[in-house]
Amino acid sequence: MNQIDLNGQVAVITGGAQGIGFAIARRLVASGAHVSLWDMNGELLDKAVAELGSAATSISVNIANYDAVSAAVAEVEKSRGSLDILVHSAGIAGKNAPLDEYDLDEWRRVIEIDLNGAFYVNRAVLPGMKARNYGRIVNIASIAGKEGNPNASAYAAAKAGVIGMTKAVGKECAKFDIAINAITPATAKTRILDELKPEFIDYMLSRIPRGRFLEVEEAANMVAWLVSRENSFTTASVFDLSGGRATY
């Protein structure tokens, strides 16, 4: 494992109690950071913090509630004295259905969590980062946001929105020492697969030239560099983790 120096850094990881978020938390702790894990599952949060030890704390946060997100940011900044890194990993897959049959409430739910939630979290952390003239943000989008997946229009639309938002806000903050980037993973073996039909999972696997799903540690390895001080120039960019699937 390459050594990334994050000593003294404070990182917030949404969706940090499980899956890609937890793998990133583990890697950032190994690099010297303190991590604040945000998730809605209190049981998983307790388990994650116990595994990571004294370098981790947790807050139960609903990212679709801006007031809750803002309060959580204030809590981290007060207790840790800073908030240097945001890795926004929380999200849902939503149900599978053709667009003309897609349930209206389910569409709103996916957009509220996957797109509006990303906006809320980025919006809440940026004032402090600007005031301190330092920050690193990685928004976890998806290959679906670049290419689309049939019968998953809400998820694809939300993740495309995250990509566009990241490019816009990265340009807005380029005059600061703030780097804001996104990654676009292909499917990883995480709990999010529990929401999907087996035939849809098989379809996504068939689209990956590597012939396998992403390992969560592979995502963590890329993110560790993106949130380091060494990433001092690249911003408003999208990094592919699709196993060769992406065509651009």
Which residues belong to the active site?
A: 155
Q: DSSP letter string over 42-70?
A: HHHHHHHHHHHGGGEEEEE--TT-HHHHH
- The tokens for 40 are 């809605």
Q: 65 exposed, middle or buried (CB, 10 Å; 0-12, 13-18, 19+)?
A: middle
Closest CA to 236 of 165, 157, 148: 165
Distance CA 108, CA 148 (A): 18
Tokens 């920050």 appear where? Answer: 135
Name the DSSP class of 195. G
